[in-house]
Amino acid sequence: ILLKKFASMVDGEFQDVRSKGPEHLRKSFFDSDPKIAAMVKDFSDSDLWQMTRGGHDPRKIYAAFSQAMKAEGVPTVILVKTIKGYGMGKAGEASMGTHSQKKMDTASLIEFRDRFHIPLKDEELEKLPFIRPAEDSEEMAFIRRQRKKLGGPIPSRNFNPPALTIPPISDKLFKNSVEASGDRVVSTTNSFVRLLSALARDKELGQYIVPIVPDEARTFGMEGMFRQLGIYAPSGQLYKPQDAESMMWYKESQEGKILEEGITEAGGFSSWIAAGTAGANYGVPMIPFYIYYSMFGFQRIGDLAWAAGDIHARGFLLGATAGRTTLNGEGLQHQDGHGLLLAATYPTCRAYDPAFSYEMAVILRDGLQKMYAERKNLFYYITVMNENYVQPALPDGVEEGIIKGVYLFRKAKDTNLPKVQLMGLGTIFREVIAAADMLKKDWNVEADIWSVPGVNQLHRDGMNCERENLMNPESPGTEPYLTKVLKGHEGPAVFSSDYMRAYPEQIRRLIPNSLTILGTDGYGRSDSREKLRDFFEIDRRWITLSALRGLVKDDRLKTDILSEAIRKYKINPAKPNPLTA
């Protein structure tokens, strides 16, 4: 009868019966049914008011957890019923204004004291003294026992699994990623999958690798891993898959390593957190790789990503098909122009947008080294693309620059010709290279070309230097890495990317040259890469025009060259602004 009565009530009724005192509680709840009233006929109003809901009764909470711990083979959930503002009395118990209540009056403090048997006199209440149990009390002994179990008086999470030995970038493990692809056109996604397969086969690291995907495994070219690693299924293969006769069939196994979560980014990311915290929780340095459409990343699981950073999760997030223009014709739902900017909001996240396979490999190896050899509290976000092009070999001496966020990809010839600094990253970096060639061929202008895969890292380096200089006014000062490497490289700068302008705007203050930033602000269109890059005004023609304008502003070229370039490249000055189009 009582359970039926509870089930018939909505949440607002529970709040109401608690907000108006014991007499109202008896009348509105118990007296509403003679059988229920009979249950409490010998209870005083005070007795009724002392009855607590499960979430406020330590005995009920203990009993619930005791039962939950005995459950085997099934997920267990504890549903807890509580009272908003419990113990605040008239100052806020079960009141609509509880969450904005900043303090309690004396009468409410007295009620609070009496309810919870706090050893304070009336005259002591207004001072709100800190209550500390006696040193030899059972309460203090319990607190000390529990704090010892948790690692000491200050809460901490300790990542203490065995440190892993990470091979150098010259090792055969990274060979396919750092060598030139020759005549073959390869995407960075394909390069990543090949590297992930090699890591999974590695005798030392393979046992810790955890590939995680939603339902797009074949989209990312990962079907070859089905047979190699198997898809984890606790009950094994329960059916014959449709592709069972193919070479790369959908193999499910109790020993499978791939976690294929279905169309649930929250589920996939939760698995990533579980693996990413295994080092702290179980002393096992699991290395999770969660690959997904980048648009469905931080935008959808932002709270989980913040929690992951807060609890010291480690691992790799791979944002596939990142950028506003890289995914041909799939519409606005996949056009991610802000994922890297969102990544900047997570303090322990190192985010990169590599243009080439060798950049991706250097960054991934750095992540393995820092997280699992040096055991630093970080996680990595790396974008990968499905755009196929020839991959160059790793140049000598660029590893430090890649990791720090910028390196000189190609130096201009040392001539007296007008010179510009062209910057880019990810899939648009090839447009930057093409713009440099156009500037030389069409306008006799030289260009230094900078790859900038780590804008967020450069921004944080700038912040660190600014803080250091603020706090040490007598020292010579620390110079940001980006400012330092640009010394001696003269001429206006143009930065083009597949992301919102706000992303590279983070580092404007660190660039000593005059700077024009091109980006993909706006919702975009469902169209080809070529047309989208013209629509957003970020392709080689727009980069070239912006570079020429910078030289005109510096009085290195005459103004009429801009009109000539607009005509030559068939740029429509009347086209709509992509921000609002």
Angstrom distance (rounded) from CA 363 to CA 333: 28
* Closest alpha carbon to 196 in 405, 399, 382, 397: 382
* Closest alpha carbon to 458 in 419, 414, 407: 407
Are domains 2-149 and 172-222+258-390 of this chain identical in fold? yes
- What mean pLDDT is predicted for residues 575-579? 95
Q: Check pLDDT > 70 for residue 328.
A: no
Residue 78: CB atoms within 10 Å: 11
Per-residue model confidence (pLDDT) at position 251: 84
Which DSSP string corresponds to 291-344?
EEEGGGSHHHHHHHHHHHHHTT---EEEEET-BSSSSTT--GGG-BSSHHHHHT
Q: Check pLDDT > 90 for residue 441.
A: yes
* Closest alpha carbon to 131 in 153, 116, 144: 116
Per-residue model confidence (pLDDT) at position 54: 83
Look up the CATH number of domain 406-568. Answer: 3.40.50.920
Summarised one tens digit per residue, pLDDT across range 218-273 is: 777 777 777 788 888 888 888 887 777 777 777 888 988 889 888 888 999 999 99
Q: How confident is the model at residue 83 (pLDDT cuts 50, 70, 90)?
A: confident
Contacts of 398 (CB under 8 A, 6+ apart): 362, 407
In DSSP terms, 383 is beta-bridged to 319
- Ranking 94-98, 159-163, 311-315 by mean pLDDT, the lowest is 94-98
Summarised one tens digit per residue, pLDDT across range 358-385 is: 999 999 999 999 999 999 999 999 999 9
Per-residue model confidence (pLDDT) at position 143: 92
Per-residue model confidence (pLDDT) at position 331: 66
Strands 231-232 and 252-253: parallel
Angstrom distance (rounded) from CA 506 to CA 486: 16
Angstrom distance (rounded) from CA 251 to CA 273: 25
Q: What is the pTM of this model?
A: 0.87
**Fold of the 2-149 domain:** Rossmann fold (3.40.50)
- What mean pLDDT is predicted for residues 14-35? 88
Q: Check pLDDT > 70 for residue 283.
A: yes
Name the average pLDDT for the chain.
92
Per-residue model confidence (pLDDT) at position 20: 84
Contacts of 351 (CB under 8 A, 6+ apart): 340, 343, 344, 380, 381, 382, 454, 456, 457
Summarised one tens digit per residue, pLDDT across range 475-521 is: 999 999 999 999 999 999 999 999 999 999 999 999 999 999 999 99
Which DSSP string corresponds to 548-566?
HHHHHHTTSS-THHHHHHH
Q: Check pLDDT > 80 for residue 330.
A: no
Domain ranges for the chain: 2-149, 172-222+258-390, 406-568
* Closest alpha carbon to 352 in 380, 325, 388: 380
Q: Check pLDDT > 70 for residue 329.
A: no
- What mean pLDDT is predicted for residues 68-75? 91
Most confident of 132-136, 251-255, 393-397, 473-477: 393-397
Which has more pLDDT, 523 or 141? 141
Q: How confident is the model at residue 214 (pLDDT cuts 50, 70, 90)?
A: confident
413 contacts 446 by C-beta, under 8 angstroms: yes
Q: What percent of the chain has pLDDT over 90?
A: 67
- What mean pLDDT is predicted for residues 33-52? 88
210 contacts 260 by C-beta, under 8 angstroms: no
CATH for 172-222+258-390 (3.40.50.410, 3.90.180.10, 3.40.50.970, 3.30.70.270): 3.40.50.970
Per-residue model confidence (pLDDT) at position 76: 92
Per-residue model confidence (pLDDT) at position 425: 98
Per-residue model confidence (pLDDT) at position 537: 97
Per-residue model confidence (pLDDT) at position 333: 75
Per-residue model confidence (pLDDT) at position 152: 85
Contacts of 304 (CB under 8 A, 6+ apart): 266, 269, 270, 273
Per-residue model confidence (pLDDT) at position 75: 87
Residue 247: CB atoms within 10 Å: 9
Which has more pLDDT, 474 or 93? 474
